[in-house]
Amino acid sequence: MELGEAVHRVFVGHLKLIAGCLLLGATIGIALHLGDQPMYSSTTRLVLDAPDPDSLAASQVLSDTARGIATSAETIRTALKLSQAEVADTAQPDRGVARDPLDLALHHIQVEALGSSGVLALTVTDPDPDVAVALSKALAQAVVETRNQLSGGRGATVLNELDVQIDSLTARITRTNEKIVGIDVQIDGATTQTQVLGYESQRSDLVRSLIDLTNRRSVLVTERAKVASDQALRPQAAIVDPARGPAELVPSRMLADAALGALLGLALGVGLAALIETIRPTIAGRSSFEREMSAPLLGELADTPEHVGPQDLRPLVTNTALAAQTARVSRIELIGTDARIDLHLLAEELDSSMAAPMSSNGRGVMVAPFDPVASPNDAGPSHVTKRRNDRPGLIVVAPSITKRATLEPILDLRSISGMPIIGVINYRQPWLLERSHGNSGGSRNSSNGASLRHDRSHRADVEGQV
């Protein structure tokens, strides 16, 4: 099966289904935003206490850190309290800032890095433009204070611990010095050599202890100076550009979601159409009809058979005559797949357009009274008694897109009766043409009715003669 044939079968044959799914998806996308209220956004730019990132991944780490702080429940509650005072100073002092922290964290707070830089954009959306501005500034301030407290607190803790250790060593050094001075006094007052040697031994131990304490204190003092230097050189979190009013109106996502819904509906419609084609295949296109009916496609009418005219049959008459001559049939009978479509006008136009009558009874093209949906007890394909050398041929008249199941009774008829199918005539789907007929349908139907009565009376005369 060719790609064009498959596309024709799926898209054209199930156009209503696909269009319905597409409209349904678009409608759902629109319905999701019917109750939406206008939202406003405000953005504050800030930096964290970290070196400038050297890659996009490092910048993303900073934005994730700021987002984690900004969306925490405690930070949001603090920001709500701070923004309450600013909003109360506006023209409506009784306006409150009662917001759900969880809803804010999930849907109304966004932190993004500006490219691969260390500058972060904290955006808050809210139905109230003043609240959006105040809450954006308050959240950014809370993030900065929290970050500085975390990083500065660690440095202060280290410095405090070093100060405690240095003070302890200083006190011990002072006590050791005092002991050495006391020993010196005792040495000066000693009366024997044994006492002098004992005091000098104690003094030597105290001097060694003093040297050790002094060295340890020097190390701690050097370490404290380094920590203090690093702390002074470390970047500090700060607000670069606070939010300013007025807040910007957030564009609605109605059109985007409607387009997305339409796209999903289109995919669903195409999928359903393909599934239907797998279960109940459709015949569409020249090659499909010729393959199924084992007969050539004689032509395609631009309208239904009930609205044909001589100008519509010019290319069809030649093909029909050639098909009849090739099949060596003396009579052509039109058989349709849709019992609602009247073929008598088409038979009359074909018969009158032929160069010469094909049979001796003066009637070369007629309608086979065969209804594919009729019961087996209904009339057969022809009431005309067969004469010698009488060889009728069938021409199937079917829509350009036909379910394969509607052709099976005709194929069974060919097998049972032995009547050859010499060709196929296609016509446009009635539902594609019902708008184009409009008000002109009444006059055409009246003329078709007259032609139908004439054809039936003429057929009755032929049957009576036989």
Higher pLDDT, 373 or 75: 75
Higher pLDDT, 450 or 387: 387
Q: What's the pLDDT at 28?
A: 94
Q: What's the pLDDT at 377?
A: 39
pLDDT reading at 443 higher than 80 = no
DSSP H or E segment with residue 82: helix 73-88
Would you call 73 exposed, middle or buried from its count of C-beta atoms within 10 A (0-12, 13-18, 19+)?
Answer: exposed
Q: DSSP characters for 415-426?
A: HHH---EEEEEE
Higher pLDDT, 288 or 114: 114
- Residues 322-334: what's their mean pLDDT? 85
Higher pLDDT, 384 or 429: 429
Q: Where are the domains of the chain?
A: 3-33+252-279, 40-241, 284-465
What class has domain 40-241? mainly alpha
Residue 333: strand pairing partners: 366, 394
Q: What's the pLDDT at 438?
A: 44
pLDDT level of residue 155 (50, 70, 90 thresholds) = low
Report the C-alpha gap between 48 and 143 in whole angstroms.
9
Q: What's the pLDDT at 7?
A: 75
Report the C-alpha gap between 426 and 299 in whole angstroms.
6
Q: What's the pLDDT at 290?
A: 82
pLDDT reading at 266 higher than 90 = yes
Give the lowest-confidence range in 144-153, 228-237, 323-332: 228-237
Q: What's the pLDDT at 233?
A: 64
- Using an 8 Å Cβ cutoff, are 47 and 111 in contact? no
pLDDT level of residue 384 (50, 70, 90 thresholds) = very low
For β-strands 365-367 and 248-249, DSSP reports them as unpaired
Q: What's the pLDDT at 431?
A: 52
Report the C-alpha gap between 372 and 131 in whole angstroms.
72
Type of residue at 20: G
Q: Is 0.85 surpassed by the pTM of this model? A: no
Higher pLDDT, 201 or 288: 201
- Using an 8 Å Cβ cutoff, are 62 and 118 in contact? yes
pLDDT level of residue 450 (50, 70, 90 thresholds) = very low
Q: If DSSP codes are grouped into helix, strand and coil, which group holds residue 168?
A: helix
Q: If DSSP codes are grouped into helix, strand and coil, which group holds residue 394?
A: strand
Instruction: Give the pair of three-digit tokens for residue 144.
Output: 């900065």
Q: What's the mean pLDDT when you consider all of the chain?
A: 79
- Strand (E) positions, 307-382? 331-336, 365-367
- Using an 8 Å Cβ cutoff, are 22 and 269 in contact? yes
pLDDT reading at 437 higher than 60 = no
